[in-house]
């Protein structure tokens, strides 16, 4: 029971990493882990980051079992508990794929090298690491080619542009709204979405 509590606490802390921006412990200024920050780090630091990221993925997939073991299952049959665990695992696996933390069967070197290559693209230099890791997973686990990756990056950039446009949507004229919606619908019909659905 003690091991389960410790693992649950570790998982909770891992989940917080997705929610709370990283901060410098020394001066507590907000530090963005983007391509500029990544490129300044030593190889050993990068290996440590990747090891932590992979560990987070493993813990995330174990979360359903840990939670269900902590919650009393009065009146539940073993079969029912098994179904709940399978369902929760499926959700956790989908989330870990989408966030790019399901990388545990790859070498650290492969992941570091791929992050370095992706961050060498000036279009994504300012993207935070949590936005890059799904691209890393797509490249290493889904078999994306460089062309596929390039199309995904271009799609994500356009998607960001639309997010900014939609913030000012109420201020647009009717013709501008119509044009924006038409462009957005055409973006959502692109072939790139097939790649993104494999996350």
* Dist CA 37 CA 24 (whole Å): 12
Are residues 133 and 101 in contact, defined by beta-carbon separation less than 8 angstroms?
Answer: yes
Residues 6+ apart with CB under 8 A from 88: 63, 64, 67, 68
User: pLDDT tens digits, residue range 108-143?
Assistant: 999 999 999 999 999 999 999 999 999 999 999 888
pLDDT tens profile 146-199? 999 999 998 889 888 888 878 877 888 888 888 888 887 777 777 776 677 654
User: % helix / strand / coil in the chain, to the nearest 5?
Assistant: 75, 0, 25
User: Rounded distance, CA 152 to CA 166, Å?
Assistant: 21
pLDDT in tens, 83-93: 777 777 777 77
3-state class (DSSP) for residue 66: helix
Average pLDDT for 47-73: 74
């Amino acid at each position: 029971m003690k091991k389960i509590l410790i693992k649950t606490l570790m998982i909770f802390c891992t989940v917080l990493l997705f929610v709370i921006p990283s901060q410098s412990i020394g001066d507590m200024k907000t530090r963005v882990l983007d391509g500029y920050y990544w490129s300044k780090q030593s190889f050993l630091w990068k290996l440590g980051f990747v090891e932590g990221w992979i560990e987070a993925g493993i813990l995330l997939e174990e979360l359903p079992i840990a939670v269900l073991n902590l919650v009393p299952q009065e009146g539940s049959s073993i079969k029912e508990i098994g179904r709940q665990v399978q369902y929760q695992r499926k959700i956790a696996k989908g989330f870990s794929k989408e966030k790019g933390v399901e990388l545990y069967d790859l070498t650290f070197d492969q992941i570091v090298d791929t992050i370095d290559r992706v961050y060498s693209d000036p279009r994504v230099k300012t993207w935070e690491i949590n936005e890059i890791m799904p691209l890393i997973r797509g490249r290493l686990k889904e078999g994306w080619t460089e062309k596929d990756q390039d199309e995904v990056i271009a799609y994500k950039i356009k998607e960001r542009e639309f997010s900014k446009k939609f913030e000012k949507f109420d201020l647009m004229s009717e013709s501008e709204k119509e044009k924006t919606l038409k462009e957005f619908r055409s973006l959502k019909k692109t072939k790139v979405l097939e790649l993104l659905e494999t996350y």
